[in-house]
Structure 1
Amino acid sequence: MTTTAIHKDYIVVAQNASGRNMHVPIYRLRGDKPGPTVYIQSSIHGAEVQGNVVIYQLLQQLKHLQICGEIILVPNCNPVGTNIKAGEYTLGRFDPVNGTNWNRGYYYNEAAVHDFAESIAADESVESIRERFKAYWAQAITDKLASPWGLGLAQQLNLKLQQLAVSADYVLDLHNGPVSTRHIYVPEYARESATLFNFPHCIFIPNVFAGALDEATFCPWWTLQDLLTSRFDKAYDLGVEAFTLEMGSQEVIQFAEGNVDARSILSYLNAKGALDNTDFQPASMERVGVYLRDYKTLFTQWGGMVEYLARPGQRISQGEPLARVLNIDQLDNDRGSFVVDAPCDLIPILHFPSASVLSGTQLYKVFTNYFSLTDDEKS
């Protein structure tokens, strides 16, 4: 049986108020054959823990497979967020000192991409462009991290993780929703790769940077491709992809479901040449897509206690009930409860985790104007 060695290191991602270092483990698996570099991390948000089980299940299988290139796995990449507890709940979505979302501090500078594009000659090979740009972008991240004015904790953490991911050809950031079904964020240029994962719901996102790791990875490469294609009037494919994988609900781990998602990732890695002599293939399943502009949030205009009637992943027609609300101030009359109906045909993807809801809450996030990717595969 093939046994691939696992090399484990640690990086310091933060220091607590006592001056003690907080470490994150890094697992590296290197193959004997050349191939791509893959970077996978989990739990940048403290309550989103399922990705750690997925990485565990990946390791159990990868060590018995033939790897091409290198696979870098970073579980529980935000130990600060994991340990921010309030009673029974993990509140690790925001840096408690600065209020910053832990997934919004990665580096991107479009002007720097334009500057680099000017250094490229028409006859320079794609491989040369790739290697030079990786080094250029890595130095830019290092320079940002060394700012003489310092950086907030979330951005320090993000940049240290981005230094690990900057050389990767494929980057996967593992997340969870509050109460959620599986879904994946896919850059529009990598649409064909959506069907290589076993995710039933796919959100196609434009080349716009909003701070997350997937955007920080694909925005510079996508932008550079477009600049070169326009400048030299020929197509460029620089071969870098990044995705955010949302694997169900937060605050829970499920080993069996982790194995399902691990095999999904292995199917993608096999298709991208990171595995040798394996038969992992994407499952035959119904896949539905939506453009980010049609991924809608239903906010509440009221407060109350909520029963969620529509399950994540369930197809709902316009006018069908999404939720039933209890109005504590009106229990003695016919306004004591009311139903929230779907404003259009939609698929709920996730909903707020609590029954206690304030006005202005993101009650549901839903697919509207969705379309079948299964039909695309058949055609």
Structure 2
Amino acid sequence: MQRTDHALLSPSLGSRKTLTSFHFGTPGASPKIYIQASLHAEELPGMLAAYHLRPMLEAAEAAGQIAGEIILVPVSNPIGLSQRVDHKPMGRFELDTSENFNRHYPDFAKAVLPQIQGQLGADPQANVRVVRKAMSEHLAAWIPQTELQSMRKTLLTLSHDADIVLDLHCDCEAVMHFYCEESCWPQLAPIAHFMGSRAILLAKDSGGGPIDESLSGVWWRMAEALKAQGVNHPLPQGCCSTTIELRGEADVTYTYATQDAQAIFSYLEHIGVLQTGNRPEVPAPLCQPTPLAGSETLRATGPGVVTFSATPGQLMKAGDLVAEVIDPIEGTVQKVCAGVDGVLYARIRDRYVTAGCELGKIAGAIPFRTGPLLGD
């Protein structure tokens, strides 16, 4: 195992943060697996899972059981991790810019398509190498102007040539669930089932430029652009990435973390990156994928104290009561009911809301939303 500390651009005199990556296996070998945790820095379950996964990978490496390369970044957002206001963590948005730490990653297809014109041929894997080289050159030419940009560049430099990317997040109060691009789902279905996902949200393009779609989207976007130009050279899905929501913010326990680390380890055994002599069978799915465009976000129409009638993981029917918002001044109660059939996969932790605040999310099977599909 090799540890690398990457210094970020200093935002102020006498201040500098460091992002640390742990490298297992053979650098540059294929397949390459990239795993990062807590890009939204207040989402801590992934950090604890990474803590438990690391010694498992060290033992596998010592036994010569890693075929390829694995990079683990247990703390992917040192900037957000240091942000606190009035004793409360503020790890979702950078305070200087108000930018979401998991938005605004580059559209690599748009950036590198002109550079790869005329370089592709009939060999699919050679074409993948051409695109990855162009992505690497694009990143090398990027001169960050801010600490946040330098962090984004560092994460992309570590991950842009990975075959599989696992981005570990969590929601407020939630069951295990996945966000995945449609082009990646067939390859990533096993990890969702190993993790015991209770909701799987698929989209072709959810909008906003999250890091997982920056890395996986380049392949289908470029393939579509080439086809539109009449270029028929094969370009496989060179990177399959997913956002794994490890339940809720308070679900930071050894029990969950060891369970999640073992699930990731078993997945790596299943796909042959870890050659331990054990190839676990994929567990039976606990749910079927649904479109992200079919996910209903429930909101309060007025302010008040929230009481929930439904818990994460509960199957809802349209019309079922999810929560009540109580105005103790006027003595009124606003009932918030499910508008679609599906599992309530996440809800907020706060118990007081203002008008328009999000309350929870239900994974419906019928798409009805358009435009950007992710929240702020």
Q: 1:340 aligns with which of 336, 339, 353?
A: 336
Q: 1:27 aligns with which of 12, 15, 22?
A: 22
Q: Is the 8 A contact 1:306 1:324 kept in 2?
A: yes
Q: In structure 2, what is the equivalent of residue 367 of structure 1?
A: 363
Distance in 2 (alpha carbons) for counterparts of 1:350 and 1:200: 11
CA deviations over 1:52-91 (Å, ceiling 9, x no partner): 1111121122222211111001111111211222345311
Change over 3 Å in CA distance of 1:323–1:19 after alignment to 2: same
Q: In structure 2, what is the equivalent of residue 375 of structure 1?
A: none
Q: What is the one-letter code of the residue matched to 2:323?
A: A
What is the DSSP-based 3-state SS (H/G/I as helix, E as strand, rest coil) of the residue aligned with 1:64? helix
Distance in 2 (alpha carbons) for counterparts of 1:16 and 1:234: 44
Change over 3 Å in CA distance of 1:238–1:302 after alignment to 2: closer
Change over 3 Å in CA distance of 1:200–1:235 after alignment to 2: farther
Stretch of structure 1 that moved more, 30-39 or 56-65: 30-39
- Where does the alignment leave 5 or more consecutive residues of structure 1 unmatched? 1-5, 372-379
What is the DSSP-based 3-state SS (H/G/I as helix, E as strand, rest coil) of the residue aligned with 1:329? coil
Q: In structure 1, what is the equivalent of residue 281 of structure 2?
A: 281
Q: In structure 2, what is the equivalent of residue 266 of structure 1?
A: 265
Q: How does 1:152-301 map to 2 (within 5 A)?
A: 153-197=147-191, 198=195, 199-207=197-205, 209-228=207-226, 231-233=230-232, 236-276=235-275, 277-301=277-301
Q: Is the 8 A contact 2:184 2:216 kept in 1?
A: no
Query: How far did 1:187 drift?
Result: 1.3
Change over 3 Å in CA distance of 1:366–1:105 after alignment to 2: same
- Where does the alignment leave 5 or more consecutive residues of structure 2 unmatched? 368-376
Q: What is the one-letter code of the residue matched to 1:159?
A: K
Q: What is the one-letter code of the residue matched to 2:66?
A: I
Query: How far did 1:235 drift?
Result: 5.2
Distance in 1 (alpha carbons) for counterparts of 2:37 and 2:53: 12
Query: How far did 1:143 drift?
Result: 2.2
What is the DSSP-based 3-state SS (H/G/I as helix, E as strand, rest coil) of the residue aligned with 1:275? coil
Change over 3 Å in CA distance of 1:266–1:228 after alignment to 2: farther
CA deviations over 1:18-50 (Å, ceiling 9, x no partner): 423211221111159953111111111111111
Distance in 2 (alpha carbons) for counterparts of 1:316 and 1:284: 22
Q: What is the one-letter code of the residue matched to 1:226?
A: E
Change over 3 Å in CA distance of 1:31–1:17 after alignment to 2: closer
Q: Is the 8 A contact 2:128 2:235 kept in 1?
A: no
Pairing 1:38–2:33 present: yes
TM-score, structure 2 normalization: 0.87
Q: In structure 1, what is the equivalent of residue 139 of structure 2?
A: 141
Distance in 2 (alpha carbons) for counterparts of 1:183 and 1:91: 23
Query: How far did 1:253 drift?
Result: 1.6
Q: What is the one-letter code of the residue matched to 2:360?
A: Y
Q: Is the 8 A contact 1:289 1:370 kept in 2?
A: no
What is the DSSP-based 3-state SS (H/G/I as helix, E as strand, rest coil) of the residue aligned with 1:263? helix
What is the DSSP-based 3-state SS (H/G/I as helix, E as strand, rest coil) of the residue aligned with 2:140? helix
Q: Is the 8 A contact 2:128 2:236 kept in 1?
A: no
Q: Is the 8 A contact 1:308 1:324 kept in 2?
A: yes
Distance in 2 (alpha carbons) for counterparts of 1:19 and 1:282: 50
Distance in 2 (alpha carbons) for counterparts of 1:209 and 1:110: 15
Q: Is the 8 A contact 1:209 1:216 kept in 2?
A: no
Q: In structure 1, what is the equivalent of residue 310 of structure 2?
A: 310
Query: How far did 1:188 drift?
Result: 0.5
Tell me how large the CA RMSD over aligned residues is.
2.4
Distance in 2 (alpha carbons) for counterparts of 1:217 and 1:32: 19
What is the DSSP-based 3-state SS (H/G/I as helix, E as strand, rest coil) of the residue aligned with 2:111? helix
Pairing 1:80–2:75 present: no
Q: In structure 2, what is the equivalent of residue 48 of structure 1?
A: 43
TM-score, structure 1 normalization: 0.87
Change over 3 Å in CA distance of 1:308–1:106 after alignment to 2: same
Change over 3 Å in CA distance of 1:214–1:353 after alignment to 2: same
Change over 3 Å in CA distance of 1:31–1:298 after alignment to 2: same
Distance in 2 (alpha carbons) for counterparts of 1:344 and 1:287: 16
Q: Is the 8 A contact 1:32 1:67 kept in 2?
A: no
Query: How far did 1:339 drift?
Result: 2.5
Pairing 1:351–2:350 present: no
Identity, in percent, stands at: 23
Q: In structure 1, what is the equivalent of residue 372 of structure 2?
A: none
Q: Is the 8 A contact 1:295 1:367 kept in 2?
A: yes
Distance in 1 (alpha carbons) for counterparts of 2:339 and 2:206: 28
Distance in 1 (alpha carbons) for counterparts of 2:41 and 2:256: 19
Distance in 2 (alpha carbons) for counterparts of 1:222 and 1:260: 33
Q: What count of residue pairs does the alignment treat as equivalent?
A: 357
CA deviations over 1:314-337 (Å, ceiling 9, x no partner): 101122110122212123xxx3x3
Change over 3 Å in CA distance of 1:72–1:225 after alignment to 2: same
Distance in 1 (alpha carbons) for counterparts of 2:211 and 2:37: 11
Q: In structure 1, what is the equivalent of residue 67 of structure 2?
A: 68
What is the DSSP-based 3-state SS (H/G/I as helix, E as strand, rest coil) of the residue aligned with 2:217? helix
What is the DSSP-based 3-state SS (H/G/I as helix, E as strand, rest coil) of the residue aligned with 2:17? strand
Q: What is the one-letter code of the residue matched to 2:246?
A: M
Q: What is the one-letter code of the residue matched to 1:255?
A: Y
What is the DSSP-based 3-state SS (H/G/I as helix, E as strand, rest coil) of the residue aligned with 1:21? coil
Q: Is the 8 A contact 1:31 1:69 kept in 2?
A: yes
Q: What is the one-letter code of the residue matched to 2:42?
A: A
